[in-house]
Amino acid sequence: MTTKRKTSDAFDAEDAAITAAALSDPDNPPLTEEQIAEMRPMAEVLPEFAALLRSRPGRPKKDAPKVALSLRLDPDLIEAMRRSGPGWQARVNAELRRVYGLA
């Protein structure tokens, strides 16, 4: 079953006013059917630019990214590590690597 959304007269009047203003804008006339038929996908017309838009910004991917995990530790141990200041998680990682001979 399909239902048609009901709109108010005020909405219809506002929509008509916006459409009329857009159609009367000399700087942005509506596209003709011929112009629409000639359109091509951006990736076809500007492949280099399309590739840039598809690329993901941010940090490059690491070969061996860190793994997030849940670990239960004593509260006083966590507090002591946090008191050591910013970067405490990296220091914990370095200490674990040292203990297991991976440093």
Give the mean pLDDT per block of 10 residues along the chain (103 residues): 67 90 90 94 94 83 91 94 95 95 91
Global confidence as pTM: 0.43
Longest dimension (CA), the chain: 75
Residue 35 lies in a domain: yes
Q: Say if 84 falls within a structural domain.
A: no
Q: At what angle do helices 88-99 and 75-83 cross, to 10 degrees?
A: 110
Are 75 and 69 spatial neighbours (Cβ–Cβ below 8 Å)?
A: no
Task: Report pLDDT for 6.
Answer: 66
CA-CA distance, 18 to 12, in Å (whole number)? 10
Q: What's the confidence (pLDDT) of residue 78?
A: 93
Q: How many domains are there within the chain?
A: 1
Rounded to the nearest 5 percent, the helix, strand and coil shares of the chain are 50, 0, 50
The one-letter amino acid code at 54 reads R
pLDDT recorded at residue 79 = 95
In a domain, 19, yes or no: yes
